[in-house]
Amino acid sequence: YFTNRSVCLGQDHLGIDESFSTTSRLENVFAASEHLWEMALPGLLEEFQRYRNELSEQIKASENTSILGNGFWYFVYNNDKVNRTDLELYLREAEENPVLHSFPDDHKAGLDYLYLRTRYVQSHPVCALWYVFFADFW
């Protein structure tokens, strides 16, 4: 019997592929470990549902005081390549919060900085690596 030993196994060991589809190996792992997680599953599912319900209630409660409209998350936040013209057009004409309609004019210098920095980071993979290193890890 050994202690203080560790091993790193790849996803293949569990039968996980790039598509995260169910494989026979993964089914075997679940079947072999079912006795460890089966009893906790109903409580976990209830906890997840409670979490979803709380989020839903928070969203409903904050709809009238929302800072960003729902469209922002789809058209801007999820689009890291949104160009400035499209961003400004969205903020001026499509954003639900009227305070943000003047954001492109009120914060022109900030948007200038954002887009210059983005252009630099996207100019070469090395620039992106250094940006991530210093901005996130350093």
Given 14, 34, 65, the domain boundary residue is 65
* Strand segments (E) across 2-129: none
* Residues 6+ positions from 37 with CB-CB distance below 8 Å: none
* Residues 66, 67, 71, 76, CA torsion sign: negative
Shared-domain flag, residues 93 and 129: yes
- How many distinct structural domains can be found in the chain? 2
Question: For residue 85, what pLDDT is reported?
Answer: 96
- Count CB neighbours of 72 within 10 A: 19
Given 13, 47, 65, the domain boundary residue is 65
Shared-domain flag, residues 54 and 74: no
Query: For residue 100, what are the domain limits?
Result: 67-137
| Contact criterion met (CB below 8 Å) for 20 and 9 | no
Question: For residue 138, what pLDDT is reported?
Answer: 59
Shared-domain flag, residues 51 and 26: yes
Predicted model pTM: 0.50
Tell me, what DSSP letter sits at residue 96? S
Task: Count the alpha carbons within 13 Å of 94 in the hemisphere toward its beta carbon.
Answer: 12
Residues of the chain with pLDDT under 50: none
Tell me, what DSSP letter sits at residue 107? T
Shared-domain flag, residues 74 and 133: yes
pLDDT in tens, 89-126: 999 999 988 889 999 999 999 999 999 999 998 898 88
Shared-domain flag, residues 83 and 72: yes
Shared-domain flag, residues 51 and 71: no
Given 49, 65, 81, the domain boundary residue is 65
